[in-house]
Amino acid sequence: MKLIDARRDLYRRLAHKEGYRSRAAYKLKELNTSYRIIGPGFFVLDLGCSPGGWTQVAKELAGNKGQVMGIDKSFVEEIADVHIIRGDIEDESIVEQIFEYFGGKINAVICDLSPTVTGMWDVDHSRQISLNYAASKIVDQVLAKKGNALFKVFDGQYSIEFRDYIRKKFAKVQLRKPQASRKSSSELYYICLGYLGN
């Protein structure tokens, strides 16, 4: 077995054993250990949350005093003490539903959005980046000053443009590829700390 496959398998087995719905849960755990994107008591929005691995981790990190909401186009099974809605993040009415739940601005937005992939990288990359622009429009409306955000990015020709766009909005933006992310995959994570407000 190749090292990459072995590592993938390790995280999949670990997720099964520890009750996480996705291997991706370990990416958020690792990034949060380094950057504290989410802390206790945080109000957190998870965009593109199905099947719910990140949402589970977000709830653990935010604790009893925190609040977590997940949104996805696909069905997501309930998660205790988390508000999940089925919806399209590109639908403008979504912001209203976010405020309805939180009742005000929030501390963190995490985005693990992926389009339905076609296998044509240029198409998939452009579509994924455009989902990130849609997510950042939501960020601009709901994130409190000094709040944090996390974006998954399919790396390609428009990644730098998106990084420069997002850099203007946060005090600090870091790029990372967590261990739980396959080396062969072209996904990167932009960790955005200290929202400057708009």
Ligand X SMILES: C[S@@+](CC[C@H](N)C(=O)[O-])C[C@H]1O[C@@H](n2cnc3c(N)ncnc32)[C@H](O)[C@@H]1O
The partner residues of 153 in beta bridges, in order of sequence, read 188
Q: Phi-psi category of 103—alpha, beta or left, where left has phi over 0 and alpha has psi -120 to 50?
A: left
Nearest one of 14, 86, 89 to 53, comparing CA atoms: 14
Residue 140 or 164 with smaller CB distance to ligand X: 140
Query: Shortest distance, CB of residue 66 to ligand X, whole angstroms?
Result: 18
The Cα angle at residue 27 between residues 47 and 139, in degrees rounded to 5: 30
Query: Shortest distance, CB of residue 1 to ligand X, whole angstroms?
Result: 24
- Site residues, ligand X (CB under 6 A): 21-22, 24-25, 48-54, 71-74, 88-90, 112-115, 131
Distance (Å, whole) CA 152 – CA 7: 20
Query: Shortest distance, CB of residue 36 to ligand X, whole angstroms?
Result: 19
Residue 48 or 147 with smaller CB distance to ligand X: 48
Query: Shortest distance, CB of residue 164 to ligand X, whole angstroms?
Result: 23
Residue 17 or 168 with smaller CB distance to ligand X: 17
Catalytic entry in 65, 73, 146, 152: 152
CB 190 within 8 A of CB 153: yes
Is 152 known to be catalytic?
yes
The partner residues of 175 in beta bridges, in order of sequence, read 190
Residue 51 or 156 with smaller CB distance to ligand X: 51
Residues recognised as catalytic: 152
